[in-house]
């Protein structure tokens, strides 16, 4: 689906409220079809699913061991993803700093040599 098709999909959705449609069509038009918009839209749909179940009286018991296990796995997985991402980014930051130092040193060495050559 392209941007217009996503908008049409939301606009023509029978299960979504007018408020939901207006909010999300406006967001898509404003931000464009970014991955963030798509992620947020999918999360909003998940919230709508949660709400539909709750409205029907199907509420997940948060003390349910299965739910707790799934929840804890989600939290642990998100923590792992974040940790891995942090480590990767920190390594890149170190690499960037080292690169800058090496580049600056090379420029200074070249400059010094150029001055020596010109004398």
- In the complex, the smallest distance separating the C-beta of residue 83 from another protein, rounded to whole angstroms, is 10
Alpha-carbon torsion angle 3, 5, 11, 15, nearest 10: -110
Q: Which of residues 70-99 bind another protein (CB under 8 A)?
A: 70-71, 73-75, 77-78, 81-82, 84-86, 88-89, 92-93, 95-97, 99
Per CB under 8 A, does 32 bind another protein? Answer: yes
Burial class of residue 27 (count of CB atoms within 10 Å of its CB; 0-12, 13-18, 19+) = middle
Residue with tokens 């997940």: 60
Alpha-carbon torsion angle 35, 36, 41, 42, nearest 10: 70
Per CB under 8 A, does 26 bind another protein? Answer: no
Q: Of the candidates 8, 11, 17, 36, which one interacts with another protein according to CB under 8 A?
A: 36
Helix (H) or strand (E) holding 5: helix 3-11
Per CB under 8 A, does 8 bind another protein? Answer: no
Per CB under 8 A, does 19 bind another protein? Answer: no
- In the complex, the smallest distance separating the C-beta of residue 113 from another protein, rounded to whole angstroms, is 11
């Amino acid at each position: 689906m392209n941007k217009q098709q996503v908008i049409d999909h939301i606009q023509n959705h029978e299960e979504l409220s007018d408020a939901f449609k207006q909010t999300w069509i406006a967001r898509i038009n404003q931000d464009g079809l970014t991955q963030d918009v798509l992620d947020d839209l999918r999360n909003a749909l998940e919230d709508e699913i949660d709400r539909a179940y709750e409205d029907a009286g199907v509420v997940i018991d948060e003390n349910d061991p299965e739910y707790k296990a799934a929840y804890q796995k989600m939290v642990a997985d998100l923590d792992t993803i974040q940790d891995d991402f942090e480590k990767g980014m920190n390594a890149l930051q170190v690499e960037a700093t080292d690169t800058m130092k090496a580049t600056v040193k090379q420029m200074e060495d070249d400059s010094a040599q150029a001055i020596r050559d010109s004398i």
